[in-house]
Amino acid sequence: MKAFVLRSYGSADQLELADVDTPVPADDEVLVRVHASSVNPYDWHLMRGEPYVGRLVPGGMGLLGPKLRILGCDMAGQVEDVGAAVTSFRPGDAVFGLLECGGFAQYVSVGERLLAAKPRNLSYEQAAAMPMAAVTALLAVRDAGRVQPGHEVLINGASGGVGTYAVQIARALGAEMVTGICSGRNTDLVRSIGADQVIDYTTQDVARCGGHYDVVIDVAGSRPVMAYRRVLSRDAAFVVVGGPPGRWLQPAGHVIGSLALAPFVRPRVASPDVLGCSSKKEALMMLADLVGDGKLAPVIDRCYPFEDLRAAVTYQETGHAAGKVVLVV
């Protein structure tokens, strides 16, 4: 099969299209013919080996070179074969999943617990745009933020991959008011997916826009917790999802720093643990239900053919994509 193999840390030029063996599923795994994948910051952080502190973590990305050779954590495709212990799927089923790696290939072998049935009303490209970003948004809004009916929610970074899902999920969970922060060129998009108000960060300061929010979902990570103190309600939750890019510590530094302040600041500070989540399958199934109910829809900025993965990763790295960048395999 064809796959993009990462030979060493660096830019997207280090991703080499090569012939590799088609994986054989273990007893609890499913072999999937990949029809689409999508690009996430998670992928290019692993590609570049950044932040550097991540190379020092035991079991992390690898000290001297990449531990994971075929990247891609999002995948949608069709089941080709199943292991002896698999009970949920059979050949021919359409599925989507959140993987550790392997999505930038024609075939991938995936643990049954990481897959769910693809929503029937989504294409493979749309389904592949969901797993990492939508699960992150779900854990941020539902679990870390504990959004309830009647809450007023502020989402910083509302036009990106995670942000577009966070806006819709907050609305689906009954938020009374959803306000999104994005650049002026994306304000119409953010309104179209359910935001009641949109703040253009290039011309407006959120601290001076009024309002008292019950939950702040900070995807962009462009401000510290205390910068929001004027607009937080008394028992507010501040959910830190991402941070500014950096080579040494960021974006992990912003997340860790925010959590370190938790005992000393008024809002409850929390962060979703997507990689450590033990219920990825259940999260995917809930997202599929929201899609089926018409409450959630992927936002795709661009689609690239499989052979143009390097261009797709380079574009996603700019940080200007409105929604998701998808790879058609």
C-alpha pair distances (Å), 180 with each of 118, 145, 221? 28, 15, 14
170-218 per-position pLDDT tens digit? 999 999 999 999 999 999 999 999 999 999 999 998 877 777 899 999 9
Measured in whole angstroms, the distance separating CA 37 from the mean position of its chain's CA atoms is 12
**Does residue 232 contact residue 266 with C-beta atoms inside 8 Å?**
yes
52-64 per-position pLDDT tens digit? 676 767 767 777 7
Q: Average pLDDT of 219-229?
A: 81
CA angle 35, 165, 57 (to 5 degrees): 75
| Confidence label for 33 from pLDDT (cuts 50, 70 and 90) | very high
Is omega for the bond preceding 251 within 30 degrees of 0, making it cis?
yes
**Does residue 106 contact residue 78 with C-beta atoms inside 8 Å?**
no
| Confidence label for 303 from pLDDT (cuts 50, 70 and 90) | very high
Q: Determine what percent of the chain falls in helix, strand and coil, rounding each to the nearest 5.
A: 30, 25, 40
Q: Report CA torsion sign: 119, 124, 126, 131.
A: positive
pLDDT value of position 62:
77
Pick among 3.40.50.720, 3.30.70.2190, 3.40.50.410, 1.10.260.40: CATH of 133-270: 3.40.50.720
Domain ranges of the chain: 2-130+298-328, 133-270
Whether the pLDDT of residue 30 is over 80: the answer is yes
Q: What are phi and psi of 143, to 5 degrees?
A: -90, -55
Question: Considering only the top CATH level, what class is 2-130+298-328?
Answer: alpha beta
Q: CA 12 to CA 18: how far, in whole Å? A: 15
- Pair of tokens at residue 50: 């950044």
End-to-end CA distance of the chain: 12
pLDDT value of position 80:
98
CA-closest candidate to residue 230, choices 202, 263, 205, 254: 205
CA-closest candidate to residue 314, choices 78, 14, 23: 14
